[in-house]
Amino acid sequence: MDLDLIKKLVKIVNSSGVTDLEIEESGFRVKIAKKIRSSQVITQPQTPIASAQPVVQTTALTAEETAKQKAEIEPTAANLHEIRSPIVGTFYRAPAPDADSYAQVGAVVSPGTVLCIVEAMKLMNEIESDVNGKIVKILVENGKPVEYNQPLFLIELA
Amino acid sequence: MFNKILIANRGEIALRILRTCKELEINTVAVYSEADRDSLHVTFADEAVCIGPPFGKDSYLKIPAIISAAQVTGADAIHPGYGFLAENASFSEICKESKLKFIGPSPDMIRAMGDKAFAKDTMKKNEVPVIPGSDGVIENLNQAKELAKEIGYPVIIKASAGGGGKGMRIVWEESEFQKAFQTARTEAEAAFANGDVYLEKYIENPRHIEIQVMGDQHGNIYHYGERDCSIQRRHQKLIEESPSPAVDEDLRTRMGEAAIRGAQSVNYEGAGTIEFLLDKHQNFYFMEMNTRIQVEHPVTELVYDVDLVRQQILVAAGEKIEAKPKKPHGHAIEFRINAEDPENNFRPSPGKISSLHFPGGYGVRIDSHIYQSYSIPPYYDSLIAKLIVWGKNREHAIMRGKRALSEFIVEGIKTTIPFHLQVLEDGRFKSGNFDTSFLEKF
């Protein structure tokens, strides 16, 4: 993978009106997309900020919007509790492939609330919350392996 | 051939296994406890999975965690190393049920050789000399006393399910027999949940000579000569060598053939070691069979030019043993370097290695997982390195050993390096005339 080439391509997309660029060449493919979102607040100057990343699409935000989002999403670290896996296995959000997930972001939980399953050696182990609070982040993708003590959920303590 | 091997062990042997896997271009999975996060083999493995907190029972001995780690990483085989689950028949069984190839013998082979009384019986049936003693478990006291008289004192009462010196009593004369019998049984019951004991002639000051065997799935069983492991402290080996100064070609042939007969009796698969006691009259007696790769395997590797871990993997994958044994070439000595203080009764000395310099040069091999600034965790055994030297003959190997040990710098912790240097100066060691009582008199 030629990093220099990618840097050059990002620069080109950034400084031009091109919004989508995809290149494929001898076993190597890169896709760069740029989303421009204009500011919602009228008093802000009308300069949309475009950012581009190879392969992953990014959303462009104004500085103010970013700050606002951050304040909503990230509670202070002090009242955050990690739920960790007590065993090695595979992480599942729901009891069965077609069933509803045990818990979503924003769900209110209490000690004993089942959050997920970690499957090990064909046994489904239900992982419960040990605190009162609200789920603010799910740290593992459904179906991915987890190791001993790996953080699974971030819970904002009530 | 396997695509991915999970190494169910830690420390130097995990690194040893990993090295051979790399040479066979097999992907490696390291499993580790939280205390081994910064371990060398974890860093070098292709994948690593944390399986539990520091204590062995919660991590390296935790079968579900290890099997689960193999499943989530898609490993197709597990190498158990030595210690931990290496000779656990249940683990071998569970691997089989989980469609993971256990690199070692089958559950039945492990069970057969793990039952000391049964193993002895099997050997006897296959014309492998055994220590005179009871035919299996002693049923009653009076029978035992009669047998002891027949064998001739001193005798030793041993736990059938035992090891590590527990449930053992040496009896020097008939008047002590009853008490010894009762206390051995009680101790065995407490340590192994099995009070069965058997009786043997006690061989005073024997040499500990073991034969390395290897069997494949095609019925081939070979031996790679002997190792002399008589330098022991409290039944823990400290220095091992091959060939043994006490074994000539004729004895080697006889012991080797006996070892092969023993292994053949259970259609043995994998690496194994048959331990014998050699008395002063050159009589050898079967003691036990270890159904795993052993710590001291490198001395055999250097003298017989064989990668034993490689053979283990090939054999487990269904291939024939690649390396046919030849005559021993030269002499190898292994020094187990432990993080212990030899001046304070070998007290364990965990801690951070502030400065490290490994010896090198021709004929010097180091099997070790330590590195500068590594902190030795206090939860596991104290073996931090194996220094193995090869020389044209025993004298040369001793000289090289001395040279290599004096270049070996480990600071920040205490090690047994100074102790080994002292042993190399000892007249009896240099002469090759020693037995398992050597260290008591040292």
- Contact criterion met (CB below 8 Å) for A86 and A147: no
Q: Are residues B331 and B424 in the same domain?
A: yes
pLDDT in tens, B39-88: 999 999 999 999 999 999 999 999 999 999 999 999 999 999 999 999 99
Q: Are residues B229 and B322 in the same domain?
A: yes
The distance from CA B165 to its chain's CA centroid, rounded to whole angstroms, is 15
What are the chain A neighbours of B68 within 8 Å (beta carbons)?
87-89, 120-121
Q: Are residues B166 and B247 in the same domain?
A: no
Q: Are residues B181 and B316 in the same domain?
A: no
CATH code of B184's domain: 3.30.1490.20
Domain A77-157 falls under CATH 3.40.50.300: no
pLDDT in tens, A93-144: 999 989 999 999 999 999 999 999 999 988 899 999 999 999 999 999 999 9
What span, in angstroms and rounded, lies between the C-alpha atoms of B424 and A117? 59
What are the chain B neighbours of A145 within 8 Å (beta carbons)?
49, 72-73
ipTM of the complex: 0.73
Q: Phi, psi at residue B390, to the nearest 5°?
A: -120, 140
Name the residue type at position B251: L
pLDDT at residue B192, rounded to an integer: 78
Domain boundary among B30, B60, B88: B88
Q: Are residues B227 and B280 in the same domain?
A: yes
What span, in angstroms and rounded, lies between the C-alpha atoms of B13 and B380? 13
Q: Are residues B265 and B414 in the same domain?
A: yes
- Contact criterion met (CB below 8 Å) for B113 and B266: yes
Q: Are residues B164 and B264 in the same domain?
A: no
Q: Which of B52, B68, B73 is closest, CB to CB, to A120?
A: B68
Where do we find the tokens 């959920």? Answer: A153
What span, in angstroms and rounded, lies between the C-alpha atoms of B175 and B142? 13
Domain total of chain B: 3
What are the chain B neighbours of A148 within 8 Å (beta carbons)?
34, 49-53, 59, 65
Residue of B72, B91, B93, B95 best to disrupt the A interface, most CBs of A under 10 A: B72
Q: Are residues B274 and B409 in the same domain?
A: yes
Where do we find the tokens 């960790």? Answer: A84
Domain boundary among B143, B177, B201: B201
Which two tokens mark B145?
């006393």
Listed as own residue / partner, the contacts of B418-421 with beta carbons closer than 8 Å and 24 or more positions apart are B418/B342, B419/B238, B419/B342, B420/B238, B420/B239, B420/B335, B420/B337, B420/B387
Tell me if residue B428 is catalytic.
Answer: no
Residue B110 within any structural domain of the chain: no
Report mean pLDDT in 10-residue bins for chain B, 442 residues.
98 98 98 96 97 95 97 97 95 97 97 88 94 84 90 88 75 93 87 85 93 97 98 92 97 97 96 96 93 97 98 98 93 97 93 97 98 94 96 98 98 97 97 94 84
Name the residue type at position B234: R
List chain A domain ranges. 3-73, 77-157
Residue B62 within any structural domain of the chain: yes
CA distances from B280 to B244, B283, B302, B426, B427 (A): 14, 7, 28, 21, 19
The answer, as to whether pTM is greater than 0.95, is: no
What span, in angstroms and rounded, lies between the C-alpha atoms of B40 and B14? 9
Q: Are residues B218 and B329 in the same domain?
A: yes
Residue B335 within any structural domain of the chain: yes
pLDDT at residue B158, rounded to an integer: 87
CATH code of B30's domain: 3.40.50.20
CATH code of B399's domain: 3.30.470.20
Q: Where are the beta strands (DSSP E) in B13-74?
A: 27-33, 47-52
Listed as own residue / partner, the contacts of B247-256 with beta carbons closer than 8 Å and 24 or more positions apart are B247/B209, B247/B278, B251/B282, B251/B284, B252/B225, B252/B226, B254/B284, B255/B209, B255/B211, B255/B226, B255/B284, B256/B211, B256/B223, B256/B225, B256/B226
- B47: nearest CA partner in chain A: A147
CA distances from B399 to A14, A124, B243, B331, B421 (A): 70, 60, 16, 12, 11
Name the residue type at position A111: P
What range does the domain containing B180 cover? 132-201
Residue B414 within any structural domain of the chain: yes
Mean pLDDT (chain B) is: 94
Residue of A88, A91, A123 best to disrupt the B interface, most CBs of B under 10 A: A88
Using the 8-state DSSP alphabet, how is residue B130 labeled? B
Residues in chain B: 442
> Angle B65-B66-B68 (CA atoms, 0-180°, nearest 5)?
65
- For residue B426, the tally of other CB atoms under 10 A from its CB is 13
What span, in angstroms and rounded, lies between the C-alpha atoms of B229 and A146? 43
Residue B147 within any structural domain of the chain: yes
Q: Is A120 on the interface with B (CB under 8 A)?
A: yes
Q: Which of A90, A121, A149 is closest, CB to CB, to B67?
A: A121
pLDDT at residue A55, rounded to an integer: 36
Q: Looking only at Cα atoms, what is the longest distance across chain A?
A: 59
- Contact criterion met (CB below 8 Å) for B207 and B168: no
Which two tokens mark B66?
């290890």
Q: Which of A88, A145, A150 is closest, CB to CB, to B65?
A: A88
Residue of A121, A140, A150 best to disrupt the B interface, most CBs of B under 10 A: A121
Say yes or no for a CB contact (<8 Å) between A147 and B49: yes
Q: Is B49 on the interface with A (CB under 8 A)?
A: yes
What span, in angstroms and rounded, lies between the C-alpha atoms of B421 and B406? 8
pLDDT in tens, B215-239: 999 999 999 999 999 999 988 899 9
CA distances from B343 to B203, B234, B349 (A): 31, 16, 12
Q: Which of B222, B203, B188 is nearest to B287 (CA)?
A: B203
Domain boundary among B55, B88, B121: B88
In DSSP terms, A117 is beta-bridged to A92, A126
pLDDT in tens, A29-79: 888 888 765 444 344 344 444 443 333 333 444 445 555 555 444 556 778
Q: Are residues B20 and B153 in the same domain?
A: no
Which two tokens mark A106?
């924003």
pLDDT at residue A54, rounded to an integer: 36
pLDDT at residue A74, rounded to an integer: 55
